[in-house]
Amino acid sequence: MEIRKISRDNLDNLESLLSQCFPKFNLKKAYLDWLYFTNPLGDAVGFDAMDGTTLAAHYACIPTQIDGKLGLISLNTATHPDYRSKGLYQKLAKQTFEYWSTEFDFVVGVANDKSAEAFVNRLGFTELGRLNLRYGDLQRPSSGIRTWTKVDLDWRTKSPRQGLEKRLLDNGMIELSMRPKNFPFKIKSLVKVQESEIRQTTEQHVNRRGLTVDWIKDSSPRLYLPEKLKPSPLVMIYMSMKSDNLEINSWSFPDFDAF
């Protein structure tokens, strides 16, 4: 078994593996190339386990920022059916965190129940909470949140799988919205863009309420919608790779690409 860094040259094998493991998620080569290799913050990091020409297991993270600190979003973990129960994903994840520990401050992720339990129990992550599908105030904390620049946001809104609609509000705030596939409602989120050249809008009456999918620390939404309406279980997990822990206060659907 050969362990290799993630490479563009292996995208065909990766598309095949992810399509086999996650057939409902439309993880095609064009999307993976956009996600892994066009992020303004840098290319994906992680490893592939190759058995000859067979991609046996894969683990990947992409760079992100929270309060200006550079970290990683834990993304795709996949093991070929013929190679499961061998601990390969744990090996690849641990090697990823060790290899890139000097370059990044933290790792965050949004996982389903089974994956979150494995990351907490076997890899040292902490469960922060669950992203809820809720209706209410879209305002979020001003710190402990994903840091966006205009370049980052331009990249994020152009996801080949499903792009985001963007609307300028005021004081550098952007409303992002989308309707996930097979989902009956449009969801919205507000993000703050750093650049001062973002001009204020002339809109005087902006509705800051709506349906969203997010997690806010120490906050319990007044109105929950049924679990069956959620696109998937969304468990927020976190691990520090430095001695100083980063405080994370909120995470919303534009901060990652789950849909």
Kindly report each contact of residues 93-102 with a partner whose C-beta sits within 8 Å and lies 24 or more positions away, as own/partner. 93/59, 93/119, 93/123, 94/123, 95/3, 95/47, 96/45, 96/46, 96/47, 96/59, 96/61, 97/123, 97/239, 97/241, 99/45, 100/45, 100/61, 100/72, 101/241
Which residue ranges form the domains of the chain, and what is each CATH number? 2-104 (3.40.630.30), 132-229 (no CATH)
pLDDT at 231 (0 to 100): 55
Angle between helices 29-37 and 11-21 (to 10 degrees): 110
| Measured distance CA(187)–CA(80) in Å, rounded | 34
Count Cβ atoms below 10 Å from residue 171 Cβ, excluding itself.
Answer: 9
Are 177 and 187 contacting, i.e. CB atoms less than 8 angstroms apart?
A: yes
Give me the pLDDT at residue 74, please.
Answer: 96
Q: What is the pTM of this model?
A: 0.90
**What SS3 string covers 73-110?**
EEEEEEECHHHCCCCHHHHHHHHHHHHCCCCCCEEEEE
Q: Are 106 and 71 in contact (CB under 8 A)?
A: yes
pLDDT by position in tens, the chain (length 259): 999 999 999 999 999 999 999 888 888 999 999 999 999 999 999 999 999 999 999 999 999 999 989 999 999 999 999 999 899 999 999 999 999 999 999 999 998 888 899 999 999 999 999 998 888 889 889 899 999 999 999 999 999 988 899 998 877 789 999 988 777 889 999 998 876 445 554 454 566 888 999 999 988 765 665 666 555 668 999 999 986 778 999 999 999 887 6
> Which residues are registered as beta bridge partners of 236?
110, 129
> What are the beta bridge partners of residue 189?
176
DSSP state letters, 1-35: -EEEE--GGGHHHHHHHHHHH-TTS---HHHHHHH
